[in-house]
Amino acid sequence: MSLISGKQPIAEGKTKRVYLHDEPDKVILYFKNDITALDGLKHDVIHGKGYINAYITKYLFEKLEKAGVPTQLVEYVYPNIIIAKKIQMLPIEVVCRNIAAGHLVKKLPFFKNGQPLNPPVIEFFYKSDELHDPMVNEYHLQALRITSEKETLQMKDYTLKANRVLKDFFNKRGLIFVDFKIEFGRLSEDNLVIGDELNGDSMRLWASPDGRKAFDKDGYRSGDALDKVRETYIETFKVITGEEPLKEGLES
**Of 46, 56, 69, 84, which one interacts with ligand ATP (CB under 6 A)?**
84
Q: Is 46 in the site for ligand ATP (CB under 6 A)?
A: no
Q: What is the closest distance, in whole angstroms, from the C-beta atom of residue 207 to ligand ATP in the complex?
A: 26
**String of contacts with ligand ATP for each residue 150-169, x by CB under 6 A:** --------------------
Q: Is 35 in the site for ligand ATP (CB under 6 A)?
A: no
CB atoms within 10 A of CB 222: 8
Q: What is the closest distance, in whole angstroms, from the C-beta atom of residue 22 to ligand ATP in the complex?
A: 15
Q: What is the closest distance, in whole angstroms, from the C-beta atom of residue 115 to ligand ATP in the complex?
A: 28
Q: Is 53 in the site for ligand ATP (CB under 6 A)?
A: no
Q: Is 18 in the site for ligand ATP (CB under 6 A)?
A: yes
Q: What is the closest distance, in whole angstroms, from the C-beta atom of residue 127 to ligand ATP in the complex?
A: 5
Q: Is 11 in the site for ligand ATP (CB under 6 A)?
A: yes
If phi > 0 it is left, if psi is from -120 to 50 it is alpha, else beta; for residue 17 that is beta
Q: Give DSSP secondary structure letters for the chain.
A: -TTTTTPPPSEE-SSEEEEE-SSTTEEEEEE-SEEEETTTTEEEE-TTHHHHHHHHHHHHHHHHHHTT--BSEEEEETTTEEEEE--EE-SEEEEEEEE--HHHHHH-TTSPTT-EEEEEEEEEEE--TTTT--EE-HHHHHHTTSS-HHHHHHHHHHHHHHHHHHHHHHHHTT-EEEEEEEEEEEEETTEEEEES--SGGGEEEESSTTSSSBSSTHHHHTT--HHHHHHHHHHHHHHHHSSPPPHHHHT-
Q: Is 27 in the site for ligand ATP (CB under 6 A)?
A: yes
Q: What is the closest distance, in whole angstroms, from the C-beta atom of residue 168 to ligand ATP in the complex?
A: 26
Q: Is 79 in the site for ligand ATP (CB under 6 A)?
A: no
Which of 40, 167, 150 lies closest to 99, judged by CA? 167
Q: Is 89 in the site for ligand ATP (CB under 6 A)?
A: yes
**String of contacts with ligand ATP for each residue 183-212, x by CB under 6 A:** --x---------xx----------------
The distance in angstroms from the start CA to the end CA of the chain is: 11
Judged by CB under 6 A, the stretch of 6-14, 59-67, 173-181, 218-226 that binds ligand ATP is 6-14
**Of 42, 106, 127, 213, which one interacts with ligand ATP (CB under 6 A)?**
127
Q: Is 15 in the site for ligand ATP (CB under 6 A)?
A: yes
Interacting residue ranges for ligand ATP, rule: CB under 6 A: 11, 13-16, 18, 27, 29, 72, 84, 86-87, 89, 127, 185, 195-196
